[in-house]
A and B are shown apart, each in its own frame.
Chain A
Amino acid sequence: ILNVEQSPQSLHVQEGDSTNFTCSFPSSNFYALHWYRWETAKSPKALFVMTLNGDEKKKGRISATLNTKEGYSYLYIKGSQPEDSATYLCVGYQGAQKLVFGQGTRLTINP
């Protein structure tokens, strides 16, 4: 069973500060890792998909890194804004097609 663990479960950050959080997964049989952003009362939206060890992806102020050998991915947000408040989901694969979702990191940006 693939366990995708995210930490912390919740995070409060002051507007303008930078922050990061972690997704951990078993390093063996790695296939791909996805990050999704999920705002309250909406549906998850894709941020990044990462497949190779050492991958770094960036979208505006948000970036992610991947270390498949040690089994973790970091998501970074630079200069947090209130609109960054959301739950950030990390998603791995168990087997060929079954996605396994982490429990998410709920980020709240305080103005």
Chain B
Amino acid sequence: DTAVSQTPKYLVTQMGNDKSIKCEQNLGHDTMYWYKQDSKKFLKIMFSYNNKELIINETVPNRFSPKSPDKAHLNLHINSLELGDSAVYFCASSRSGGRADTQYFGPGTRLTVL
């Protein structure tokens, strides 16, 4: 069974469109995260949720809106997509968000904006 899954794996879309990426974890974890892998291959945190509550909200454009319908899901909705949004987006989860908690990453979603 896949612990952290993301859909879709690849997403190609036009500038200006609105799209969503879904993430689900079956580990029973309380905390979930979204990361963006930038052009230099750095991973940077975007958001984290603990039991459906927003904990970390980095300075990302407000076109990005996370939604957590329950603690097993954290979806990322992006409005008015721009060329610079092209990247690989990773979802992750950890048991409780504690500093010693291991993060489990999804396989990533490669977003290409044309």
- Minimal Cβ-Cβ distance residue in B for A87: B41
B108 near A: Cβ within 8 Å?
Answer: yes
The distance in angstroms between the C-alpha atoms of A89 and B100, with both chains bound, is 16
Interface contact B102-A46, CB-CB below 8 Å = yes
The stretch of A20-28, A62-70, A98-106 in contact with B is A98-106
The distance in angstroms between the C-alpha atoms of A47 and B44, with both chains bound, is 19
Interface contact A93-B99, CB-CB below 8 Å = yes
Instruction: Knowing A43-B90, A43-B108, say if A99 contacts B103 (CB, 8 Å).
Output: yes
- Minimal Cβ-Cβ distance residue in A for B97: A97
A42 near B: Cβ within 8 Å?
Answer: yes
**What's the least CB distance linking A34 to chain B, in Å?**
7
The distance in angstroms between the C-alpha atoms of A103 and B45, with both chains bound, is 13
The distance in angstroms between the C-alpha atoms of A15 and B3, with both chains bound, is 32
**What's the least CB distance linking A23 to chain B, in Å?**
14
Q: Which residues of A (40-80) have their CB < 8 Å from a CB of B?
A: 42-46, 49, 51
Interface contact B56-A97, CB-CB below 8 Å = yes
Interface contact A104-B102, CB-CB below 8 Å = no
**What's the least CB distance linking B35 to chain A, in Å?**
8
Chain A positions within 8 Å of B102 at CB level: 34, 46, 49
Contact code string B12-37 (vs A, CB < 8 Å = 1, else 0): 00000000000000000000000000
Interface contact A42-B107, CB-CB below 8 Å = yes
The distance in angstroms between the C-alpha atoms of A23 and B101, with both chains bound, is 19
Chain B positions within 8 Å of A36 at CB level: 103
Instruction: Knowing A42-B107, A43-B105, A43-B108, say if A101 contacts B99 (CB, 8 Å).
Output: no
Q: Which residues of B (39-57) have their CB < 8 Å from a CB of A?
A: 40-45, 48, 55-56
B66 near A: Cβ within 8 Å?
Answer: no
- Provide 29 A-B residue pairs closer than 8 Å at the C-beta atoms, listed in order of the A residue: A31-B99, A32-B99, A34-B102, A34-B103, A42-B107, A43-B4, A43-B90, A43-B105, A43-B106, A43-B107, A43-B108, A44-B43, A44-B105, A45-B105, A46-B102, A46-B103, A49-B100, A51-B99, A51-B100, A89-B43, A93-B99, A96-B99, A97-B55, A97-B97, A98-B56, A99-B103, A101-B43, A101-B44, A104-B41
